Amino acid sequence: MQKKKINKQIIIQPKPSKYRLVAKRSSAGLGLYTIDPIKKDEQIIEYGGYKLTNEEAEKRGGKYLFEIIESNFTIDGTPRWNLARYANHSCKPNAEAVWYGKHVWICPKRNIKPGEEITYNYGRVYFKDIIGGEKYCKCPIHHPSKGHLGKLTEKELRRYSRNS
Ligand SMILES: [Zn+2]
């Protein structure tokens, strides 16, 4: 990780993922999909962005704030180079967010197959305040009828595998 100060903003630049990941349309806007198989006990991708204090984050607001209450810091993951921001919320996720010091990683909860969408639970506050609760949650549990895509088709997977 590198920390650079640009316009007084400290940037947490994520380490490149060892997996090939793509952002693609899903039922909840864009979603993050893996092209490679991911093993449990590995790290999928680091959550990068601007490092803020929780007070600054509160003033700034936004959808991509990752708040770590215990350490009084927040990562504003708005920049598009923060690929991890495309991992959607799910109430039945295949990954989880884990932090070590100032690093937040999205880590698998189980083995993940090529083509699967990476999701993690954003937590109770986000679920209630930003998503708006069960009625608006687009995860497979709360929105099964709309068909959570959740997976790349075989054709998409082949195409992405060739091009990356
Ligand atoms: Zn849900």
Q: What is the CATH number of the domain that holds 93?
A: 2.170.270.10
pTM, entire model: 0.88
Q: Which stretch of DSSP H or E encloses residue 105?
A: strand 103-108
**Cα–Cα distance measured from residue 97 to residue 47, given in angstroms and rounded to the nearest whole number:** 9
71 CA to centre of ligand 1 in angstroms? 27
- 155 φ, ψ (degrees, to nearest 5): -65, -45
143 CA to centre of ligand 1 in angstroms? 7
pLDDT tens by residue, 12-67: 999 889 999 999 987 667 899 999 999 999 999 999 999 999 899 989 988 899 98
- Number of neighbours of residue 152 by Cβ within 10 angstroms: 23
Band of the pLDDT at 2, cuts 50, 70, 90?
low
Q: What is the mean pLDDT of residues 137-147?
A: 77
**Cα–Cα distance measured from residue 35 to residue 159, given in angstroms and rounded to the nearest whole number:** 10
Range of the domain at 112: 3-163
Domains held by the chain: number: 1
132 CA to centre of ligand 1 in angstroms? 10
Band of the pLDDT at 163, cuts 50, 70, 90?
confident
Angle, vertex CA 49, rays to CA 84 and CA 148, nearest 5: 25
With 60 as the cut, is the pLDDT of residue 3 above it? no
77 CA to centre of ligand 1 in angstroms? 22
pLDDT tens by residue, 85-140: 999 999 999 999 999 888 999 999 999 999 999 999 999 988 999 899 999 998 88
